[in-house]
A and B are shown apart, each in its own frame.
Chain A
Amino acid sequence: MESHSVTLDVRRLVGRFSLRSTSHVGRVSYLLLEMARAVPEWRIWMPRMFEQASNVGYGSLFIVGLTAGFAGAVTSLQAGYQFTGSIPVYFAAGVIVESIILELGPVLTALVLAGRIGARYAAELGTMRVTEQIDALESLGRSSVSHLVLPRVIAGTLMLPVLVVFADLVGIGAGWVAAKGSLEMTNADFTYGAQYFFKTWDLWYSMIKAFAFGLAITIVPCYMGFSTQQGAEGVGRSTTAAVVSASVLILFLDAALAKVLLKT
């Protein structure tokens, strides 16, 4: 009897979970469709997009630079710790530069921004939902997607690659300084090592990742904000859910893109 009810419960749980995820998938697809339809209404989303973009861009410079700087310096110190003995010192430079461009720059920037703008988007739209501001917009015959979602998604998706380039530069700079200080690496060693391993494709790869992460950290929070229910607590819930699911999605996309694009 006991085990019977437990299996039933598990089945019900699985059922509810899959029902809920299919309804999420359905509603996200619907949102994507609405976004595609709203693209021609550029007169509405474009000005709002620039507003959002400058906010995302300038507002994030400090935290992105700080994260990338520390990541670069620490990578450099750890490379120095690992690469001892017979391995030529310029190898360390290659490792530093490559790990920043391929992985640390895009992923750390995206994770930081998932917290910074993802939370913000979800909270803004969630509050607008529970205070009926989204209904009010719709009641005026205006599309909430072109007024609210599209500007945010496009701004975030365009700014993320820019911020990743910035993070790469800061990270490599910090790594370089740290390498010179702790590994007794010369400038010549560093540039030689960096160029020896570098391929142009790496930059493309970094940008493709940034672009995909940009979509993830904007669309997921906008969706979560839009489907907010039940007051202040609901806004809190969607904000947390937005940051967590955007972060998980970043890690998942990171693995998937590495598998697909690097053909390893």
Chain B
Amino acid sequence: MIELKHISKRFGDLVVLDGVDFEVRQGETVALLGPSGVGKSVLLKHINGLIHPDAGEVWVDRMKVGALKRKELSRLRSRIGYVFQNGALFDSLTVFDNIQLGITDEAASEDEVYCRDRVRQCLDHVNLPPETAHKYPAELSGGMRKRVGIARAIAGQPTYLLWDEPTSGLDPVNADIIDSLVEKLDDELGVTSVVVTHDVRGAFRVADRIALLRDGRIRAMGTPAELRASTDPAVQQFLERDLTIPVAH
């Protein structure tokens, strides 16, 4: 369970979050939509404590993130996979080492056989061939890098996953594979996910609930059906463009 209670965050004079209340129930997948630059990535980084709020509280698993000790925070983080918007791969390490660092369980990460299997498995999940393991991030395409970032985030079998635009920059086939992965992790392993995305159609497919971030607050939150039925012009404006095409069929 993830709870953000009245989070405010500003950078200098720029108020990014202004009293955000946001809740993700256990096992749920919530898609977070919003215009570019509105603060979706900033919100996501509050959940695992990479950014501290100016005001408000973040609770994950009934633990207050801001009040955790070093060890506790690192234990919590090892259960929260984070997919960075631009990959954030360790560029001096091979893909293999990148994903291996994602295996957060200490005993497991020292078991060579397990690591090799797990890395191959994770690469397979994101539709990358095993040979990719020996390459360096600089030798990969943007979309491949993004998928390695996803493989790294899921390698430690986290119970929470925070996805920052996992499908942006991917071709439709691979975007579909990633959407299926989100669904699969959600259904089979009960992972609790927050998916930041601009892909409204993908959001409607994978999410149990959808939230719209606008002007520093959650403007609307509800099931896909509820959101579609919303009369709020801001919500409609945001959903219209992408949804009219498939709905027209």
Contact = CB atoms under 8 A, between A and B. Distances in A.
Interface of A: 37, 128, 131-133, 135-143
Given A135-B50, A136-B90, A141 B84 contact: no
Contacts, number: 53
Contacts of B102: 140
Contacts of B34: none
A139 B50 contact: yes
A135 B88 contact: yes
B104 interface: yes
B86 A139 contact: no
Point out which of B45, B70, B82, B88 has the most chain A C-beta atoms below 10 A from its C-beta.
Answer: B88
B91 A141 contact: no
B196 interface: no
B77 A138 contact: yes
A135 B1 CA distance: 22
Given A37-B70, A131-B88, A131-B91, A136 B82 contact: yes
Interface residues of B, number: 24
Contacts of A37: 70
Contacts of B91: 131, 133
Contact of B84 (A136, A142, A143): A136
B156 interface: yes
Given A138-B77, A139-B82, A133 B156 contact: no
A138 B50 contact: yes
B236 interface: no
Interface of B: 45, 48, 50, 70, 73-80, 82, 84, 86, 88-91, 101-102, 104, 152, 156
Prevailing SS type, chain A contact patch: helix
B88 A141 contact: no
Contact of A139 (B70, B75, B77, B90): B77
24 contacts: A37-B70, A128-B90, A131-B86, A131-B88, A133-B90, A135-B50, A136-B82, A136-B84, A136-B88, A136-B152, A137-B101, A138-B50, A138-B77, A140-B77, A140-B78, A140-B101, A141-B74, A141-B75, A141-B78, A141-B104, A142-B101, A142-B104, A143-B70, A143-B74
A137 B90 CA distance: 9
A135 B88 CA distance: 8
A138 B74 CA distance: 8
A137 B77 CA distance: 10
A156 B89 CA distance: 26
Nearest to B50: A135
B70 to A, nearest CB: 7
Given A136-B89, A139-B80, 17 more contacts: A128-B90, A131-B91, A132-B86, A136-B90, A137-B90, A139-B48, A139-B50, A140-B77, A140-B78, A140-B82, A140-B152, A140-B156, A141-B78, A141-B104, A142-B74, A143-B70, A143-B74
B89 A133 contact: yes
A132 B90 CA distance: 9
Contacts of A140: 77-78, 82, 101-102, 104, 152, 156
A137 B78 CA distance: 10
Contacts of B90: 128, 133, 136-137
Nearest to A38: B70
A9 B86 CA distance: 42
Contacts of A128: 90
Contacts of B73: 141
Per CB-CB distance, the 8 closest pairs between chain A and chain B, nearest first, are A141-B78, A141-B77, A132-B88, A139-B82, A136-B88, A141-B74, A135-B50, A141-B104
A141 B76 contact: yes
A31 B146 CA distance: 31
B191 to A, nearest CB: 16
Contacts of A133: 88-91
A127 to B, nearest CB: 8
A143 B77 CA distance: 11
A135 B77 contact: no
Contacts of A141: 73-79, 104
A31 to B, nearest CB: 13
